């Protein structure tokens, strides 16, 4: 092996840069589109299938996942799924009622929303752990968008607009999935979601505290506190003893049942205990005829629909994915969007409001040992039975119990540890998180979100506007060249400066790149003869970027410094050839590795400057 290296370093011309003809625009464009919209290449196994019938079957299985898992379903899985389904139902009732209250809509809508959507998700969803349900943050955001005034003065119009917003959400989510725009959800970073959830939890907590203190005059203070405490204790215990999760999973239902019984026995309403109020028996009535497309409200409806749709997607997809990872399963973001979309479209026709995969319910589902989306079907069936026979019983639920349930759920959403971790590792991530947290807490939910996403985008833009460059030195006794700051033992070479450019080199950073290169050269204590630019890390360049490099070459030329280009990558080299950059720089100034370039420069030096 040593021989080959010696021979190759002594004749570097033998393995130079590959100046093949650039690919056509068509093939490059196709590759780009594929990478942008189909990074997981989902149709490959389908298109490779030779049998036509099997191909259709695979395609159907891809688009409607139930066809994939149902044929393999057995009694063993059913046992787990029934258990998980019953468990999440016990959460669905109190959460459904509570979050409907947050959205200022009749509590029965919350129960309806746990009946139809789970069936839809079971057919189209690709996550085995996700439990469908309503979420606190979006419920509150909806109420905020339409305003308290409308919900009080025109409750019917308000409800109809919420159904319409749910339809918009569904269509938007479906379209995003169909157009494979999962890329938009990517910009709602983990830090943003953490901050957003925390901020939402804070405002909901404050709201509920107000409610609870309002009730203090009518009821026994100790009661409220004790309920709250018992739940909090349950939660804490849960983390220490995972087996006790049943306590926390069943806690809310127990609160509701006990609350109802007590309120009923003591004739609470007569004593001033506020309860949920009448709940009609019966399944979801159709709501398709209630959709309201009045142009007066359409702006608001679209805003509510799209903003909540995005947040619901980000939360649902992130949560589905987190739990899938623990089981080494895969979820497909775009498929999930289509499933969420269909769920909300059909939901908006059947008196449901926005649903997604909430964290608390999904966690309970996962811990209860769910195996497939069948647990959602079980929950749907249970909800059907409750709606048909038991709904009126829940009308005795004391509001204060609901407050306690909401608050206990909210406390779990403030992820202190994650925030502290962000602070330790990445201050900018922490800033993004805090801007969402405080923005939501002190301004409004959508502003908090916009500011936080804004910071994330600024970070992305700052990254491309100021790509990191570094000076390389040779690691002693090797042909490796590494960052001198990182590897202080590496050696600089007299007369050479080797710079590694960050990626990309384009319009937004061309001035910076030029200034930075010139500054590296100015800062050199000794005169230099060669500037070696290592482009290994530069994955793309544009016209402005190439012009900048030419400008640098011209400026250096006037100081008798030669510029050498090292290892331009595929796309970069193609553009350089199309723009005649290669001809202007000269092919003899382009090398495949730093070592080759150094050898060639040394050779060049000895031939052009005769020894004295």
Site for its own copies in 376-435 (CB under 8 A): 421-422, 424-429
Q: Closest CB to its own copies among 86 and 592?
A: 592
Q: Tell me how far, at minimum, the Cβ of 45 lies from its own copies, in Å.
A: 9
Cβ–Cβ under 8 Å, residues 205 and 420: no
Say whether residue 48 binds its own copies (CB under 8 A).
Answer: no
The count of other CB atoms within 10 Å of the CB of residue 516 is 18
Q: Closest CB to its own copies among 76 and 477?
A: 477
Say whether residue 251 binds its own copies (CB under 8 A).
Answer: no
Instruction: Report the site for its own copies in 315-374 (rule: CB under 8 A).
Output: 325, 328, 333
Say whether residue 47 binds its own copies (CB under 8 A).
Answer: no
Q: Using CA atoms, how far apart are residues 472 and 490, in angstroms rounded to an integer?
A: 8
Q: Closest CB to its own copies among 209 and 462?
A: 462
Q: Closest CB to its own copies among 38 and 241?
A: 38
Q: Closest CB to its own copies among 274 and 475?
A: 475
Query: What is the DSSP track for 101-151?
Result: HHTTS-HHHHHHTTTHHHHHHHHH---SS---B--HHHHHHHHHHH-HHHH
The three state secondary structure string of 373-416 is CHHHHHHHHHHHHHHHHHHHHHHHCEHHHHHHHHHHHHHHHCCH
Say whether residue 76 binds its own copies (CB under 8 A).
Answer: no
Q: Tell me how far, at minimum, the Cβ of 87 lies from its own copies, in Å.
A: 27
Cβ–Cβ under 8 Å, residues 350 and 112: yes
Say whether residue 492 binds its own copies (CB under 8 A).
Answer: no
Candidate residues 11, 47, 511, 606; the one interacting with its own copies per rule CB under 8 A: 511
Dihedral sign, Cα of residue 124, residue 127, residue 128, residue 129: negative
Torsion (CA) 208, 104, 249, 360 in degrees, nearest 10: -90
Q: Closest CB to its own copies among 395 and 456?
A: 456
Say whether residue 55 binds its own copies (CB under 8 A).
Answer: no
CA distances from 438 to 197, 409, 443 (A): 11, 20, 8
Cβ–Cβ under 8 Å, residues 599 and 564: no
Identify the residue whose tokens are 């939360």: 315
Q: Using CA atoms, how far apart are residues 290 and 287, in angstroms rounded to an integer?
A: 5
- Cβ-based neighbours of 173, under 8 Å, separated by 6 or more: 309, 312, 313, 337, 338, 340, 341, 344
Say whether residue 521 binds its own copies (CB under 8 A).
Answer: no
Candidate residues 593, 598, 600, 601; the one interacting with its own copies per rule CB under 8 A: 593
Q: Tell me how far, at minimum, the Cβ of 40 lies from its own copies, in Å.
A: 4
Please choose, out of 50-58, 149-157, 251-259, 575-583, the segment that lies near its own copies by the rule CB under 8 A. 575-583
- What are residue 473's DSSP bridge partners? 482
Candidate residues 558, 560, 607, 608; the one interacting with its own copies per rule CB under 8 A: 558
Candidate residues 11, 13, 30, 40; the one interacting with its own copies per rule CB under 8 A: 40
Instruction: Report the site for its own copies in 135-164 (rule: CB under 8 A).
Output: none
Q: Tell me how far, at minimum, the Cβ of 231 lies from its own copies, in Å.
A: 30
- What are residue 533's DSSP bridge partners? 499, 565
Candidate residues 11, 47, 56, 468; the one interacting with its own copies per rule CB under 8 A: 468
Q: Tell me how far, at minimum, the Cβ of 55 lies from its own copies, in Å.
A: 19
Please choose, out of 98-106, 253-261, 348-356, 517-525, the segment that lies near its own copies by the rule CB under 8 A. 517-525
- Cβ-based neighbours of 127, under 8 Å, separated by 6 or more: 320, 321, 323, 324, 329, 331, 336, 357, 373
Binding mask 183-222 for its own copies (x = CB under 8 A): x--xx-xxx-------------------------------
Instruction: Report the site for its own copies in 216-245 (rule: CB under 8 A).
Output: none
3-state secondary structure of 531: strand
Residue 457, both tokens: 């985008």
Say whether residue 127 binds its own copies (CB under 8 A).
Answer: no
- Cβ-based neighbours of 407, under 8 Å, separated by 6 or more: 204, 205, 208, 209, 228
Please choose, out of 147-155, 367-375, 406-414, 565-573, the segment that lies near its own copies by the rule CB under 8 A. 565-573
Q: Closest CB to its own copies among 153 and 511?
A: 511
């Amino acid at each position: 092996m040593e021989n080959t290296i010696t021979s190759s370093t002594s004749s570097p011309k033998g393995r130079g840069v590959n100046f093949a003809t650039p690919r056509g625009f068509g093939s490059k464009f196709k590759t780009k589109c594929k990478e942008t919209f189909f990074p997981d290449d989902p149709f490959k196994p389908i298109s490779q299938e030779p049998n036509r019938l099997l191909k259709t079957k695979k395609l159907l299985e891809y688009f409607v996942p139930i066809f994939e898992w149902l044929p393999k379903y057995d009694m063993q899985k059913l046992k787990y799924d029934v258990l998980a389904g019953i468990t999440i139902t016990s959460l669905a009732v109190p959460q459904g009622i509570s979050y409907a209250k947050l959205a200022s809509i009749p509590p029965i809508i919350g129960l309806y929303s746990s009946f139809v959507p789970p069936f839809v998700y079971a057919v189209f969803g690709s996550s085995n752990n996700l439990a469908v349900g309503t979420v606190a943050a979006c419920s509150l955001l909806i109420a905020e968008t339409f305003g308290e005034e409308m919900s009080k003065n025109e409750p019917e119009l308000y409800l109809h607009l919420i159904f319409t917003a749910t339809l918009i959400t569904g269509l938007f989510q479906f379209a995003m999935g169909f157009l494979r725009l999962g890329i938009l959800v990517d910009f709602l970073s983990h830090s943003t979601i953490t901050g957003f959830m925390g901020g939402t939890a804070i405002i909901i907590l404050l709201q509920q505290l107000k409610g609870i203190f309002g009730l203090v005059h009518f009821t026994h203070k100790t009661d409220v506190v004790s309920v709250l405490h018992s739940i909090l204790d349950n939660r804490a215990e849960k983390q220490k003893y995972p087996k006790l999760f049943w306590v926390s999973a069943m806690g809310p239902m127990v609160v509701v049942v006990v609350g109802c019984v007590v309120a009923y026995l003591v004739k609470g309403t007569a004593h001033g205990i506020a309860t949920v109020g009448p709940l009609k028996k019966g399944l979801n009535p159709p709501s398709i005829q209630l959709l309201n497309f009045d142009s007066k409200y359409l702006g608001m409806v679209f805003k509510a629909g799209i903003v909540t749709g995005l947040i619901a997607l980000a939360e649902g997809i992130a949560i589905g994915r987190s739990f899938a990872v623990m089981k080494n399963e895969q979820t497909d973001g775009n498929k999930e969007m289509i499933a969420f979309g269909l769920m909300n479209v059909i939901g908006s026709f059947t008196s449901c409001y926005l649903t997604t995969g909430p964290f608390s319910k999904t966690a309970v589902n996962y811990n209860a040992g769910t195996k497939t989306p069948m647990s959602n079907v079980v929950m749907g069936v249970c909800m059907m039975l409750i709606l048909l026979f038991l709904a009126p019983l829940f009308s005795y639920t004391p509001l204060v119990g609901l407050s306690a349930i909401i608050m206990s759920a909210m406390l779990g959403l403030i992820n202190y540890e994650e925030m502290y971790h962000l602070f330790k590792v990445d201050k900018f991530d922490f800033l993004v998180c805090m801007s969402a947290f405080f923005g939501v807490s002190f301004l409004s939910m959508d502003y908090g979100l916009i500011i936080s996403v804004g910071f994330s985008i600024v970070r992305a833009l700052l990254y491309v506007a100021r790509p990191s460059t570094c000076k390389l030195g040779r690691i002693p006794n090797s042909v490796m060249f590494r960052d001198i700051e990182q590897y202080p033992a590496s050696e600089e070479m007299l007369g050479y400066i080797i710079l590694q450019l960050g990626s990309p080199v384009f319009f937004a950073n061309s001035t910076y790149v030029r200034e930075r290169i010139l500054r590296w050269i100015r800062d050199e204590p000794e005169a230099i003869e060669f500037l070696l630019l290592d482009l290994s890390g530069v994955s793309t360049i544009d016209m402005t970027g190439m012009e900048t490099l030419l400008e640098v070459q011209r400026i250096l030329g006037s100081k008798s410094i030669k510029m050498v280009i090292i290892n331009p990558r595929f796309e970069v080299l193609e553009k350089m050839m199309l723009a005649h950059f290669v001809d202007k720089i000269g092919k003899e100034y382009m090398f495949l590795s730093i070592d080759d370039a150094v050898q060639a420069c040394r050779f060049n030096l000895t031939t052009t400057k005769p020894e004295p």
